[in-house]
Amino acid sequence: MSTKPVSIAVLVSGNGTNFQAIVDAIESGRIRNAHITCLVSNRADAFAIERAKKHNIKSFVLDHKNYKNRMEYDTAMVEILQRHNVQLVVLAGFMRILSSTMIDAFPNSIMNIHPALLPSFPGLDAQQQAFDYGVRYTGCTVHFVDSGTDTGPIILQAVVPALESDTVNTLTKRIHGEEHRIYVEAIGLFCDGRLRVEGRKVTIAQQTGCATNLL
């Protein structure tokens, strides 16, 4: 059984609170068999870059404005990730839609967190969508990325009640707390080799103690 840590790349565009939660979980041992190899941002002013520096994590800035199209941009990103032997790509507030170039390079190995209970309220401003709709419950979803927008196989979900006293900000804050929890859990399951994709369903295998890629 291989005990070599799974190499993770985190893609960000902004503050990086989910990135920080993942770093903290790896350093505390809550995520085992994992190492963040690099962080990639499309924005030079993303605060997540400062977070990476504090933890001695290598970071790269790929400004999407310097590329002709999405595929050209993703080709450059794939080159960086493959050069660093990345096995799992984690989107943590990365405000770019991935092309087939990225998805084909990392099949069933790109994770995203969405601040709603998919398939409800996909796309941008999911918290506002849920709030405006008047739902009693919303939440967050960790899923694998496919060619659609927030349509990939669901790994984990967490439910958050929408209170009558809520504003969009208070609802968003509670959702964020659950995001940090289930994203860490999902990444840990991947790194322990316990996730399997069967059609649209993701199954969780019993603990084997062996870190493997998805089959």
Number of C-alpha atoms within 13 angstroms, CB side, residue 117? 13
Query: Tokens at residue 80, please?
Result: 């960086």
Beta bridge partners of 210: none
Buried b (16+ CB within 10 A) or exposed e, 101-127: bbbebbebbbbbbbbbbbebbeeeebb
- Identify the H or E element spanning 90: strand 88-91
Residue 91's Cβ-count burial label (10 Å; 0-12, 13-18, 19+) is buried
Which residue has 């963040």 as its token pair?
A: 36
Which residue has 């290598």 as its token pair?
A: 58
CA distance 169 to 159: 17
Beta bridge partners of 114: 141
- In angstroms, what CA-CA distances link 115 with 120, 142, 161, 178, 206? 10, 9, 13, 9, 28
Question: Which is catalytic among the residues 35, 55, 84, 114?
Answer: 114
Query: 180 an active-site residue?
Result: no
Please give the positions annotated as active site: 114
